Amino acid sequence: GVLQSAAKVSSERARREELEEALVIDEMTTAFNFRYLNKWLSAAAEDQMALLFMDIDDFSIFNNTYGHAEGDEVLRVLVETINKSVRTDDKVIRYGGDEFVVLLNGMDGEGAMRVAQRIMGNLGSVRRANWKEPITVSMGIASAPRDARDKHQLLLFADQAMYAAKGAGKNTIQMWNAEKDPA
């Protein structure tokens, strides 16, 4: 009886963990979702980490040209490419639409820049016969503790750096710079 009860509890615990994980995974891309990001934002801050915030350049034009099914494929390919470009412990999160966040624990801004460059390089080699243009992204980087200690502020700064990258001509990476864009 005791062994049966223990097995049942273990089975129920495993099922609950599967369900909890399903709640934080974006079904289409298999990246973590906004719910996961909110959970991360409410947890204690890490001592050192970097955050990438990226947006697919001209995604609405791509969707209008090739259709939403191909746009969905771009999202999947992007997540796959990011996952191949980062460490297994790093977290890829679909922020919403065509915006993604990558959490890089224990990494400083310079390390994050190397990761961002690797992502862009790997993305540049992705080709599909029916896509005339390559997929490009604009990325912003912020790091703790250099730029901010508060996670919400870190996310905001990486987002603002991403918009600076868009403003600099897209398909580029910008580090958060408080002197250029004080918040």
Catalytic residues: 98
Query: Could you tell me the two tokens for 182?
Result: 């004080």
**Mind giving me the DSSP string for 47-81?**
SSEEEEEEEETTHHHHHHHH-HHHHHHHHHHHHHH
Amino acid at 68: H
Closest CA to 55 of 20, 1, 98: 98
Q: Does residue 21 sit in helix, strand or coil? A: helix
Cis peptide bond N-terminal to 145, omega within 30? yes
